[in-house]
Amino acid sequence: MLSVEDLSVEFRTRAGVVKALEAVNFSVQPGETVGIVGESGSGKSVTAFTLMGVLDRAGQVTAGRALFQSNRVAVDLLKESESSLRQLRGQELSMIFQNPRTALNPIRQVGKQITDVLRCHSDLPPADLRLKALEMLASVRIPDPVKRYEAYPYELSGGLCQRIMIALALACSPELLIADEPTTGLDVTTQTTVMNLLKDLAAQRQMATVLITHDLALASEYCDRIVVMHAGHVVESAPTHSLFSQPRHPYTAKLIAATPEPHKSFAELMPIGGNLPDLKAMDLAPCRFSTRCDRFDSALCGQTPLKRAALAPDHQVACWQPL
């Protein structure tokens, strides 16, 4: 469904050039849910914005391609015109943004925001738009859809706003959904409800899903495969079970060790030392995790380029000294 190959992105700012992404590779199959995990600042959202064609003006794709199977024809999302992307977005490619309260139009009723999407991307006659919008509200399990159709975002809870965003994203039955931190700011019960809803809808529609999150526990429960990012690099990619049972990159192992679990005490949590490198630096190390890594060897790990190896057909790691 989607194949991202050697994607590199830079931001040109007054402070210098920020190398936000470098040689990012991953793929998503139809009906599959792929999780992208990592700390804040690792490049997860930049990857999503680049694929959707909504990257900030300061951002520039310097290399790579993103092949998307659109109506069984492969198109490179990075080379499509704005008008072509506008047709793809909402119809075949959709995104759920982090904060639904800022993503929704605050002065337009939520039901009408759904009909706006349908009017733009579907062939429904005008008389059927409201009925379809109500159907979408019901599909995401919003109580009393007729009443909520007339509501404004500020009148709804965070959980309901997130469901509205899901209804908007799925209104035209996209083939690929990118969910960027879809449970941010929600309580645990609402998080579970939203994620179960996404899982059920993806299964019903055989929709490919990219779930971006910093919550490894969430990714372990809902994702088929996981891509681990650190400072703009993909450092490891593997099926979920393999990644958690035998992490091969030191950063992945440290992330798992720092993840709270029911059977762990606070004393057992191991924080990751150090900070992300300055991505504006002219002398960035080939391995951007090198200053935080216990296995760092200047003679081996300082080599260029960073070694990316397939440890198994479905398990890749970018490390000179994998675990």
The domain segmentation of the chain, as residue ranges, is 2-92+174-318
pLDDT score of 249: 97
User: Does 225 have pLDDT greater than 80?
Assistant: yes
**Residue closest to 226 by CA, chosen among 306, 166, 314:** 314
Query: What percentage of the chain carries pLDDT values higher than 90?
Result: 68
For residues 95 and 104, what is the distance between their CA atoms, to the nearest angstrom?
13
pLDDT score of 191: 85
Burial class (CB in 10 A: 0-12, 13-18, 19+), 98: middle
User: Tell me, what amino acid is at 176?
Assistant: L
**Residue closest to 145 by CA, chosen among 184, 181, 111:** 111
pLDDT score of 314: 92
User: Tell me, what amino acid is at 44?
Assistant: K
pLDDT band at 266 (very low <50, low <70, confident <90, very high): confident
Q: pLDDT for 157-188, tens place per residue?
A: 988 998 899 999 988 889 999 999 988 777 88
* Cis status of the peptide bond prior to 250, with omega within 30 of 0: no
Torsion 130-106-139-223 (CA) sign: positive
CATH architecture, domain 2-92+174-318:
3-Layer(aba) Sandwich (3.40)
For residues 201 and 196, what is the distance between their CA atoms, to the nearest angstrom?
9
Q: pLDDT for 40-89, tens place per residue?
A: 999 999 999 999 999 999 999 999 999 999 777 889 999 999 999 988 98
φ/ψ (deg, to 5) at 33: -110, 115
**Mean pLDDT over the full length of the chain:** 92
* Number of alpha carbons in the 13 Å side-chain half-sphere of residue 118: 23
**Strands 33-37 and 225-230, sheet pairing:** parallel
**Strands 59-70 and 73-76, sheet pairing:** antiparallel
pLDDT score of 306: 82
Among 116-120, 248-252, 259-263, the range of highest mean pLDDT = 248-252
Query: What percentage of the chain carries pLDDT values higher than 70?
Result: 100
CA-to-CA dists, residue 322 to 230, 283, 296, angstroms: 15, 24, 11
User: Does 304 have pLDDT greater than 80?
Assistant: no
Instruction: Judge whether 314 and 238 are in contact, CB under 8 Å.
Output: yes
Quote the tokens at residue 94.
């959709």
pLDDT band at 236 (very low <50, low <70, confident <90, very high): very high
